[in-house]
Amino acid sequence: MSMDIYAVGDIHGCLGHLEQLLDDVQPDLEKDILLFVGDYIDRGPDSRGVVDYVLRLQQKYPREHIICLKGNHEAMFLDFLQGRERELFLFNGGLGTLRDYWGRNWDRLSQLLLPPEHEQFYQELRPYYETPDYIFVHAGLKPWVPLAEQLEEDLLWIRGEFIASMEDFGRLVIFGHTPFKRPLQMPNKIGIDTGAVYGNFLTCLKLPQKEFFIKGHVLVDEE
């Protein structure tokens, strides 16, 4: 049975974008894979709602068909909850996420506890996902470093060094993190963060067809 992969770019709390996009795309999640490249939260209007939406997908369909990668914003959120790098999280749009979970008086609470299903969601996010043809990762890969030896900091944060690299990573790398006006297509990588939270679009890439769904519009790769 043939299987397609639908990879969704950075959502950043834009629940309406996500609902509209998947309503248009309608992947068959009984046989296909839906993969999120991370950054579900921060900056947008409904971070908690996005996680709730993904959790409902995980409950409705086989868990192995809903793949959730960790983004740098989820890493910052977890650090914040453990008392580390708090200013960094707030500086990067975390205030809206805190209010989504605990209201406007979050800073007056003695302890910030996530709902158990949300805690499990954040803890189980994957650093990357690989198939025989593709490597999916949030930010990218350190050039000339084997996949198994990549540091999580690079997987979640790397930008220019990876994007500028023409290295053959052995498989096509699908990534988010760095926003583009349109999906970035290079021989060794495809970037699918199209800045939904900045007023642009949320993108879904269908593989192996290399079809880009952008809020319902299909852009077919012409290679």
The domains found in the chain, sorted by start residue, are 5-220 (3.60.21.10)
Residue ranges, the chain, pLDDT below 70: 1, 216-223
- Tokens linked to 94: 């975390």
User: What's the pLDDT score for residue 216?
Assistant: 53
**What are phi and psi for residue 93, nearest 5 degrees?**
90, 20
- Tokens linked to 5: 């992969």
User: What's the pLDDT score for residue 26?
Assistant: 94
User: What's the pLDDT score for residue 2?
Assistant: 77
Beta bridge partners of 5: 33, 207
Q: What is the pTM of this model?
A: 0.95
Residue 196 near residue 8 (C-beta atoms within 8 A): no
Contact residues for 44 (Cβ-Cβ < 8 A; gap 6+) = 11, 12, 13, 14, 15, 50, 96, 196, 197
Q: Minimal CA–CA distance to 5: which of 197, 188, 174?
A: 174
User: What's the pLDDT score for residue 221?
Assistant: 57
